[in-house]
A and B are shown apart, each in its own frame.
Chain A
């Protein structure tokens, strides 16, 4: 990913002036992705409004517990990733690498929990085509899962670049973090819309 136009961290130093974290390309991605997801959320809301009863009763089948755990897992991963940015800025690359791995592992846990959740739903006969609520459920969580997987790829790139003294850049870690925070934010909205809101 391209460099930012702003000052980079020298070994052991800190950035000397305020700047927009990560590069403008990632912000294009994040903002555009949020717009696209917003259109999905709006469409979901329209369908929910039209079929209040169905959505309300179908929602009962979702496990609030797993939803909450998943939310906490992703929030933790975001915390790890944010810490990793701080450590990189401070020049503590070893810790930053470990924190990135921590964030990534939380992401893996999220995926595993999601897979478990899906399999229990499918075991109960609640599949993609069962009704409109579950169509949206699988669709939204599925697209989100794709974003999580992509995020793991980005975090992997961040990790490998941190490992190599020649490639280390704060902007790269910030870019990965920006994306990861967006993934987290999207999950919070999905969780609120699908699991919580009645």
Chain B
């Protein structure tokens, strides 16, 4: 084996003071979350028109017109998503770390990461590609345009199991945790999230009504619950990091 080269020794005052703040890595990670979700709102609501979703029960001509009208903003919005979606991994890593602080086996922390790696793909990025393909070439065969439309919205609203698993392991970890890292009521809210996923499963059946992908129950109530949960977890993570002692030993 070749001679081992030593990495240069760094003196303490070579780095700025902010790098020595306690838990600085977690704080930087935490800040990406509210920034990401505001951008998420801009991308999905304003630019790409996925939230709230356009109706399933329109004609192929209307679907083609939708893609033609919004082609530019869909492409710009999802170009942004291509970059910013990476930060979902940071949020997941942060929550996984807080789960590791709990008095339970780290299996749930890793399961949380695993479930949301799945969730990011059929639940977010792949639907984006379907809409991009439609916006990229709105002159495709109308049947294909309809399929792309269906693909995006079914996948986005109808990705279910990954979020069920994510919320289940989070809820279980919180219930079993004796260290009170996160409050029990967050666990109950995570149960609501599971219920909203159950109530999104009919989107694959209905093209109109409250249980379609744009339905009052499958989409609107579900999204309202999600927004409340997201606000809660952003706040609770802040409190959890703040109350964490810098000297705390976290299980490996």
> Which A positions have Cβ atoms within 8 angstroms of B?
1-2, 23-26, 28-29, 32-33, 36, 39-40, 43, 47, 128-129, 132, 135, 139, 142-143, 146, 150
Contacts and interface: CB of A to CB of B under 8 A. Distances in A.
24 contacts: A2-B183, A25-B183, A25-B184, A26-B184, A26-B188, A28-B188, A29-B188, A29-B189, A32-B188, A32-B189, A36-B195, A36-B225, A40-B217, A43-B216, A47-B210, A129-B205, A135-B209, A135-B211, A139-B202, A139-B211, A142-B198, A143-B198, A146-B195, A150-B191
A128 B202 contact: yes
Contacts of A25: 183-185, 187-188
Contact of B175 (A1, A23, A28, A33): A1
Interface string B186-214: 01110110010011001001100111000
Interface of B is mostly: helix
Nearest to A132: B209
A40 B209 CA distance: 13
A135 B209 CA distance: 10
Nearest to B189: A32
B205 A128 contact: yes
B230 interface: no
Given A1-B175, A40-B217, A40-B221, A129 B206 contact: yes
A24 B185 contact: yes
A117 to B, nearest CB: 19
B57 interface: no
B210 to A, nearest CB: 5
A106 B89 CA distance: 45
Contact of A23 (B184, B189, B209, B216): B184
Number of chain B interface residues as a range? 20 to 34
B139 interface: no
Contacts of A29: 185, 188-189, 191
Contacts of A36: 192, 195, 221, 225
Interface in B195-246: 195, 198-199, 202, 205-206, 209-211, 216-217, 221, 225
Contacts of A33: 192
A39 B211 contact: no
Given A25-B184, A39-B221, A150-B191, 6 more contacts: A2-B180, A2-B184, A135-B202, A135-B209, A139-B199, A139-B202
B192 A32 contact: yes
Query: Nearest 7 CB-CB pairs, A to B?
Result: A29-B188, A25-B184, A28-B185, A25-B185, A43-B216, A2-B184, A39-B221
Nearest to A32: B192
B173 to A, nearest CB: 14
A23 B183 CA distance: 11
Contacts of B184: 1-2, 23, 25-26
